[in-house]
Amino acid sequence: MKTEKDKNILFSMLFFVGTLLYLEIVVHLYIYEAIDSKIIYPIIFAIPVGIVFTILSGCFERFGNILIMWILTAVTCLIFGLQLVYYRVFKVYFSFQTLGMVEDAISEFGEDVQNAIESNIIPILLVLLPLAVLYFLIKEVLICEKRDLRKQVYLLIGALSFQLLALLLLPIHGKSDYTPYELYYHSKVPELSGQQLGIVTLTRFDISGVLREEEELQLIDLEAISYETVPEPKPTQPVLNPTVTLEPTKEVEPLSPTATAIPTATPTPIPILPNIMDIDFEELARNEDNQAIRTLHNYFASVKPTNKNEYTGMFEGYNLILITAEGFSPYAVHKEVTPTLYKLVNEGFVFNNFYTALWQTSTSDGEFVALTGLIPVGTRSMYKVRNNLLPFSLGHQFNLLGIESKAYHNHTYTYYDRDETHPNLGYLFKAKGNGLILDSDVWPESDLEMIQHTVDEFIHEDQFHIYYLTVSGHMNYTFIGNSMAFKNKDLVKDLPYSSDARAYIACQIELDRALEELIRRLIEAGIAEKTVIALSSDHYPYGWEKERLDELAGHEVDPNFEVYRNHFILWNPGMENNIIIDKPASSMDILPTLCNLFGLTYDSRLLMGRDILSDSEPLVILSNRSFITDKAMYNSVTNEVINLTDEELPRDYVKNMNAVIKNKFTVSKSIIQTDYYRYVFPNYPEEFIKADD
């Protein structure tokens, strides 16, 4: 009998370890479609967890152990299946920190969830296979009796030994930035951790993050980095989307016969002065007892500010309409089909090298970046700051000028808890369910109807700031599952694309019509020339397989950088000449750029983004820590460096930039966690009013 029990220990351990290894490989193959030498880490880290599962399934009598085996196996399959489907749809990993959103997601987007499951039914069935194996083993092989303490101790020693082995193997690929070693001990970037360390380790990191929200603030001393040689840059240039190359203004027809040319708002020469407020960070640090806050004070004391420039105050006294457009991308812009979008991206400020990163919480994080100028670290950053002081948000900035800021959204007002987050940004927030009534009850709702039902609430005011969050461009991009695509189906029937690609353009037509209606009303009210429209996307249309993006682009889209390339519309009809900006920029730079243009009070050191129009060096940061500057593009996944100039990169350039970016992520997370701005401005808003005077 002893021999049979020993065999059962072996069978139990082989089942749990084998299940985790099998699931790691299956999910890895379905997500990344390839395996490299780093697959050793998901495998080796799965072994000690499998042994721990074996220990847990031997602590009770037979019925209890069987129950434990079923629970552990079912939860494991659920987690792997969830990650597989979530990543295939959203292109990021699921985080347990978003569990509070599950009920809303299922109730609001149940059809999308169902479509995601149906389109991934084969990998889901493969992920559930261990449950069938367990049924057979329990029925035919396993005894599942309670295990004596000595054997449990042996198993525990085995688990610790394999965990130690996994840790000892981490340095095999080095200890430089974003290697398995560095990800395990330091960065813990979800996208990279899931790929290089596996779902088991990613889940452990995620759950520990839920249980331990506060972390010690540790920044990299940029003057004390142990430098290494930067990888030899590749001589090739990155493949970027040729459709983003914009045409001259002269080829863009007027929006309407009534839109006459208006003398442009011209930039005023201004002395080169830093865009800062009267803040003595060193003095604040000396008088601060809180270690984390003191560290932040010292950090900002060392940050180089951006300078005021010839565009500072260019739009002071103007109206501002800021728009976050759901799923907007360059592929939505067609001269004949979306003429208003085509006009706006080709006039005013034209940003030829603009990027919109995809963050962990998709639309909400896309809003967070543009509205706060900070990095959304982890998940639900907008929700986490719902009670924080956000003095640089445009809603608060315009409120301090005596202008009532309003925000509108044509979907459910409580989704992403926007009924709490957007008022904290300074807006009177109205959406579906708390005051915004639309003509039709469909999904997704109409952007055009939102404009028609809200424009009269502000257009006759002396000055206004309005924020719109659209939804017509939301996936799924089919004529059956998207009411806006169906509504505009006939307008795209002759386009030479697949049905899904035409459906995407069709739902973006609703955004185009909304903008056309908005501009028409501004012109009729005689205030168009005193109004600025700023529009950016929350994220690219990630809900597709990449083949659809390739189809619309007319070539294979680079998945590392080009897929994030987008438009930032910054348009005012009073500008007689376009201002072409070729420097790389991103959504994180929108807030400081608008603050500078409108002559608002802000301190450029306190934001993670930079004024695009200043003389600062550009820096585009993607969620996986890849970056773009005017000198190079760095891919954190492959450690590949692409030189963008003919000049050799400065020594340790990439390592220095990685250190800067890591500090930005750490600082942004600490700003969110500690409500840092409240320490800097304890008497808000007096500091801002004095600064304006």
Query: Average pLDDT, stretch 377-382?
Result: 92
Residue pair 412/431 in contact by the 8 Å Cβ criterion: yes
> Which pLDDT score is estimated for 410?
98
> Which pLDDT score is estimated for 246?
31
> Which pLDDT score is estimated for 224?
55
Cβ-proximal residues to 400 (8 Å cutoff; 6+ apart), any chain: 601, 685, 688, 689, 692
Nearest-angstrom CA–CA distance, 432 and 442: 12
Query: Which long-range contacts (C-beta less than 8 Å, at least 24 apart) are formed by 431-440?
Result: 436/408, 436/409, 436/410, 438/410, 440/483
Nearest-angstrom CA–CA distance, 274 and 184: 39
> Is pLDDT of 235 > 50?
no
Question: For residue 150, how many other CB atoms are within 10 A of its CB?
Answer: 8
> Which pLDDT score is estimated for 249?
39
Task: Report the amino acid identity of residue 137.
Answer: L
> Which pLDDT score is estimated for 58?
94
> Is pLDDT of 685 > 60?
yes
| H/E segment holding residue 173 | none
- The CATH code that applies to domain 313-579 is 3.40.720.10
> Which has the minimum average pLDDT: 82-86, 373-377, 421-425, 641-645?
82-86
Nearest-angstrom CA–CA distance, 499 and 168: 52
Residue pair 337/502 in contact by the 8 Å Cβ criterion: no
Query: Average pLDDT, stretch 312-322?
Result: 98
> Which has the minimum average pLDDT: 216-220, 532-536, 674-678?
216-220
Average pLDDT, the chain: 90
If you count them, how many residues does the chain have? 693
> Is pLDDT of 39 > 90?
yes
Query: Average pLDDT, stretch 447-460?
Result: 98
Over pLDDT 70: what percentage of the chain? 89
Residue pair 467/427 in contact by the 8 Å Cβ criterion: yes
Name the more confident of 241 and 88. Answer: 88
> Which pLDDT score is estimated for 143?
87
> Which has the minimum average pLDDT: 52-56, 100-104, 464-468?
100-104
List, in sequence order, every residue forming a beta bridge with 438; answer none if it has no partner. none
**Structure-block tokens of residue 624:** 């996986």
Cβ-proximal residues to 418 (8 Å cutoff; 6+ apart), any chain: 409, 429, 431, 469
Cβ-proximal residues to 301 (8 Å cutoff; 6+ apart), any chain: 281, 282, 285
458-478 pLDDT per residue, tens: 999 999 999 999 999 999 999
Question: For residue 657, how many other CB atoms are within 10 A of its CB?
Answer: 22
The C-alpha angle 194, 199, 204, rounded to 5 degrees, equals: 100
Name the more confident of 510 and 244. Answer: 510
List, in sequence order, every residue forming a beta bridge with 586; answer none if it has no partner. 355
Domain boundaries, the chain: 2-211, 313-579
Which pLDDT band holds residue 214 (cuts at 50, 70, 90)? low
Name the more confident of 379 and 168. Answer: 168
627-664 pLDDT per residue, tens: 999 999 999 999 999 999 999 999 999 999 999 999 99
